[in-house]
A and B are shown apart, each in its own frame.
Chain A
């Protein structure tokens, strides 16, 4: 099985490459990357002229809902959504039913992912058993079973002692702890960002401090422990500043932000449309702009979608009763490309770092995030000129809770290639 990808503009930040290159794929791996590779007889060729070729995109924070909530999403529908969005790998969170807090659930997810094919799925196990925040999961066993990271995600690890122990123990295993920073005693029953908007619209608020005190707590612990700490979907200017300072102090930390926090602000909740109800909440315009500065100066390493599918009925409710979350895998690239790269706030090279190079590094996926001979042939091909319109009918996700519906712009996924197989093509969608 061979494939020659000819004439595309290869953008591979890890290799420092941004020029037209041919890529030869053989048996699922990259065989050769060179300026001009001669077409061998019987070798299928993909004409990538006019396209950008990136190492496969990695969404390090998604919810696939299987096992347990297959009415919202399944590993199969989530995988189709992922490749439609250009992702060749995704890391799925542990809040399934049952919780992914033991090896059998991790192995189940990996087995289902293998049956489905399409995309690489890397399970993230919980930090605590049952997501209860009390006792550590059997981390070594889970790593052996295929878990790549640990996170209690939405629950946040509220006990400082437990996150300390988790960071220490994870250091031995060389795996990241992913923290959703939210002090629940402060955010409590909050629905939206706390401030003028929450007061004016009578919605319970979540202070920015609810996020920032956990960011600060974890960074202080990490300063001594020097493990691998990743702060996910940070949403406030204060968090960006805390992380920036920690980096200056050489404290090991990485962070991601979501497209919705990068492109939307709290003003949208005024009509009580639950599609904008998300955790952490959409913040102020000043926070949004600081997140973008964080992407530019390297404080924020990755863009992750926090793809959180819900059924139509789940979201068709009084704002207060609707669940938190938006879907994102299928829209991350087009909206970020159009609003940040075309607006010259990010370079394409930086976008590829945020979508591929850095997520691979943070998750410790050693042979991904780079186009190199011997590595799996995971590639995302981009048509930067192609116009897009975000429409529900195009979603492969089961859900439609997308805050970008109706958005138009420029830049689309052309092909998604996983282990040398073209798993998505915009020609026959």
Chain B
């Protein structure tokens, strides 16, 4: 394994990572993939360390993924479920976190609907903070697991065209991916209606397309975003029906992408809304591989933040 150069105290977003950091995380994750293929899927890298999963939004896949990642590293993990928490009694986020910190955890993984909540935690908490999705802002481990998946399938992370289709405005998955591929120097195409894809995103090094055919053309990666019915209710688009007609991915549109192109989706997918159901199950679809890679990437992140430096994987 490459010598560890990761010097971050927290993982708040892709924004704060260098290309070196990103590569270190991905290399570490690749090493952890082997662990998950063993019969006994456990290493002692975080033995004696405590990880708190602090989730204020419903999430099955991300929460479970962090949970499995922590357990495979032999960390002790507790899930803090907001529905049974003291938040219902009016406790503030700060008091909740200070209370948890009084029990001396090492890492707090937070998912919160308010953008910047993980950053707020770092102003008073002693633990390492991992952002598992904050509002419309970032979801760094998703972008990292997406990058790992791309690297596995396309054998490179450079010189690619990445098309991201859907609700860019409200998507933390999109923003983290945009920031990551901007750092790697890839071409980024953002596709959606202007109400969901403001032109200012071009300042992040992306190109905006309102026509999915033009956006997807020659793309190596086509990343579909989940469309929320609630955005329709707020008139970001007139109806799901019209959205599907304009922006869903189907075989015909996907055939415009490069010959080796892969189809990604952070999940959960809406079959036959943003993604034609046969496409979701096609050979080009890497949706389940993304989920699998999520564990290795999260193991890498937890390990790099709090693992003992002298410990190696074997």
**A contact residues vs B (CB 8 Å cutoff):** 195-196, 199-204, 271-272, 313, 316-321
Partner of A202, one of B93, B120, B136, B200: B136
Q: How far is the CA of A316 from the CA of B92 in the complex (A)?
A: 9
Which size bracket describes the interface of B in this complex? 20 to 34
B204 at the interface (CB under 8 A from A): yes
Q: How far is the CA of A321 from the CA of B116 in the complex (A)?
A: 11
**B contact residues vs A (CB 8 Å cutoff):** 92-94, 112-117, 119-120, 134-138, 169, 172, 175, 198, 200-201, 203-204
For the complex of A and B, the 10 pairs showing the least CB-CB separation, nearest first, are A202-B137, A272-B116, A202-B136, A202-B115, A318-B114, A320-B114, A196-B200, A319-B116, A272-B119, A318-B117
A317 and B92 in contact, given A203-B116, A271-B119 (Cβ under 8 angstroms) = yes
What is the chain B residue whose CB lies nearest that of A197? B200
Partner of B112, one of A195, A200, A203, A318: A318
Residues from chain A with a CB closer than 8 A to the CB of B198 are 199
Is A320 touching B201 in the complex (CB atoms < 8 A)? no
What is the chain A residue whose CB lies nearest that of B134? A202
Q: How far is the CA of A317 from the CA of B120 in the complex (A)?
A: 8
Q: Given contacts A202-B116, A202-B137, could you give 12 more A-B pairs where the C-beta distance is less than 8 Å?
A: A200-B204, A201-B116, A203-B115, A203-B116, A203-B135, A271-B116, A272-B115, A272-B120, A318-B120, A319-B114, A319-B115, A319-B120
Residues from chain B with a CB closer than 8 A to the CB of A321 are 114
Is B112 touching A202 in the complex (CB atoms < 8 A)? no
Residues from chain B with a CB closer than 8 A to the CB of A271 are 116, 119
Residues from chain A with a CB closer than 8 A to the CB of B138 are 202
Is A316 touching B94 in the complex (CB atoms < 8 A)? yes
Is A201 touching B115 in the complex (CB atoms < 8 A)? yes
What is the chain A residue whose CB lies nearest that of B56? A318
Most A C-beta atoms less than 10 A away, residue of B94, B120, B175, B203: B120
Q: How far is the CA of A203 from the CA of B116 in the complex (A)?
A: 9
Q: How far is the CA of A202 from the CA of B115 in the complex (A)?
A: 6
A202 and B135 in contact, given A272-B119, A318-B112 (Cβ under 8 angstroms) = yes
Q: How far is the CA of A201 from the CA of B118 in the complex (A)?
A: 12
Q: How far is the CA of A203 from the CA of B135 in the complex (A)?
A: 8
Residues from chain A with a CB closer than 8 A to the CB of B137 are 201-203
Is A196 touching B203 in the complex (CB atoms < 8 A)? yes
Nearest chain B CB to A200 CB, angstrom units: 7
Q: How far is the CA of A203 from the CA of B246 in the complex (A)?
A: 27
What is the chain B residue whose CB lies nearest that of A204? B136
